[in-house]
């Protein structure tokens, strides 16, 4: 019998209902669909009546939901996280209505099915089904559901503040991040359950320079646009140095025994072969290159306000993902050295250092591994560093054991659909996700 089959239909139906509510996060509060954000908690209560009957709910920040499932002891609390806001869509690019929640061909379609309403639903299904069986947890279980993760909002920090006020030190925090994926490493035939131990830092910088303006018929040399272009070219020509972080070394050592024989001895010595492996991975493509270095992406350019006017100022926005082991300060220092032009200014828009690294050799990681084994018995559980930012980063302030993993199987196409088009999740993955959280909660004794 397929693992989790008894949970598939309920999870798919409820996810479909919640996807139909367009809880799109926007930087400008005036653009927010307040009716949708008010409707979602009501729909959640309708879908999961036992959860709302037995768990205590506190609203945090601008609509975040913090539930407490009281256990026999408050000594080793669990925090299970998800968020219910989603990114905007371009409907004309989708094969179907992005908010249809259509169930067809063994999948649920729509924005948020993977990021992150799918995770929220499998958590709630696990709790609801355990309550229906009369289960009571040994330790407190908290559900922290944010409503503004996609815009780096305030609800996750507010949840942390509330837990700190209550004196809660989570034994384990688990949020979105890694997933059960295939083809994650050359030669690996098994699926890998990748569990994030940390997140790269995020630094947004405006690169700006100025010069004399004038008519485009009489352009001067070395104007603002030329200086900016030269600075961007230097940044592109001098990427940050490569390095293997401790989580990635552990990942290679974990996957090594499951690879073809020629690679096994190399990965077994990954800790001693860091420089060579880092250089090799940097050449395999942008996905692996992003794992081994700080990356810089130029995402926006601005210059002249008119086609026949020489720009007096020119600017570019750089989105930088900082490698674990580096800091905002060291990153800015190196950028300044690479640009090497005092007329080009670097203005910090926002900044966050990489998070601390949670351990992969303790009982918390072992609990995740055991739940994966019960859910995806063929998968290899391995640590990694998450390249994106999540609400989990705030919880390092109150816990040393913060992990990033969605117990959903995803193909490469599905991973690309997150923040893209035609996002969808399989019903099989939803059923298995429910089993994962049931096992994680029930085994925490």
Among residues 85, 116, 150, 175, the one annotated as catalytic is 85
The three-class DSSP label of residue 236 is helix
Distances (CA, A) of 280 to 188, 242, 289: 17, 10, 9
Answer yes or no: 85 catalytic. yes
CB 395 within 8 A of CB 170: yes
Among residues 128, 140, 149, 175, the one annotated as catalytic is 149
Sign of CA dihedral 55, 56, 59, 61: negative
Query: Could you please report the per-residue DSSP string of 76-97?
Result: EEEEEEEE--B----GGGSSS-
Contacts of 241 (CB under 8 A, 6+ apart): 293
- Eight-class DSSP state of 271: T
CB 247 within 8 A of CB 271: no
The three-class DSSP label of residue 267 is helix
How far is residue 96's CA from residue 421's CA, in Å, rounded to a whole number? Answer: 10
Query: Could you please report the per-residue DSSP string of 297-348?
Result: EEEEEE--SSTTEE-SEEEEEEEEEEPBTB-HHHHHHHHHHHH--TTEEEEE
How far is residue 141's CA from residue 76's CA, in Å, rounded to a whole number? Answer: 9
Residue with tokens 């099989």: 428
How far is residue 225's CA from residue 210's CA, in Å, rounded to a whole number? Answer: 8
How far is residue 129's CA from residue 309's CA, in Å, rounded to a whole number? Answer: 66
CB 150 within 8 A of CB 87: yes
Residues recognised as catalytic: 85, 149
């Amino acid at each position: 019998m397929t693992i989790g089959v008894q949970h598939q239909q309920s999870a798919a139906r409820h996810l479909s209902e919640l996807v139909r509510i367009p809880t799109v996060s926007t930087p400008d509060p005036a653009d927010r669909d307040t009716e949708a954000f008010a409707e979602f908690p009501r729909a959640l209560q309708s879908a999961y009546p036992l959860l709302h009957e037995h768990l205590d709910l506190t609203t945090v920040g601008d609509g975040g939901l913090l539930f407490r499932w009281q256990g026999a002891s408050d000594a080793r609390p669990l925090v299970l996280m998800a968020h219910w806001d989603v990114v905007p869509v371009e409907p004309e690019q989708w094969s179907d209505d992005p908010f249809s929640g259509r169930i067809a061909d063994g999948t649920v379609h729509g924005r948020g099915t993977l990021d992150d309403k799918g995770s929220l639903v499998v958590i709630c299904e696990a709790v609801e089904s355990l309550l229906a069986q009369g289960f009571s947890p040994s330790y407190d279980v908290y559900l922290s559901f944010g409503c503004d993760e996609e815009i780096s909002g305030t609800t996750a920090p507010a949840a942390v503040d509330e837990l700190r006020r209550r004196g809660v030190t989570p034994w384990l925090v688990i949020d979105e991040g890694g997933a059960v994926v295939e083809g994650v490493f050359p030669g690996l035939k098994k699926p890998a359950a990748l569990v994030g131990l940390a997140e790269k830092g995020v630094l947004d910088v405006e690169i700006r320079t100025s010069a004399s303006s004038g008519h485009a018929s009489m352009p001067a040399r070395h104007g603002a646009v030329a200086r900016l272009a030269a600075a961007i070219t230097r940044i592109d020509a001098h990427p940050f140095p490569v390095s293997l972080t401790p989580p990635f070394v552990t990942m290679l050592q974990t996957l090594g025994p499951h690879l073809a024989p020629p690679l096994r001895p190399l990965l077994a010595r990954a800790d001693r072969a860091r420089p060579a492996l880092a250089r090799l991975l940097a050449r395999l493509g942008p996905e692996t290159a992003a794992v081994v270095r700080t990356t810089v992406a130029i995402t926006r350019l601005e210059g002249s306000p008119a086609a026949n006017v020489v720009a007096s100022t020119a600017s570019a926005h750089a989105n930088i993902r900082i490698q674990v082991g580096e800091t905002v300060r060291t990153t800015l220092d190196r950028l300044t050295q690479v640009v090497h032009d005092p007329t080009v200014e670097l203005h910090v828009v926002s900044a966050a250092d990489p998070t601390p690294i949670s351990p992969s050799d303790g009982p918390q990681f072992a609990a995740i591994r055991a739940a994966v084994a019960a859910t995806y018995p063929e998968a290899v559980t391995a640590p990694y560093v998450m390249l994106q930012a999540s609400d989990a980063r705030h919880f390092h302030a109150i816990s040393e054991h913060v992990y990033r993993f969605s117990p959903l199987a995803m193909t490469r196409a599905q991973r690309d659909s997150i923040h893209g088009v035609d996002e969808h999740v399989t019903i099989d993955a939803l059923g298995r996700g429910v089993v994962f959280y049931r096992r994680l909660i029930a085994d925490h004794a």
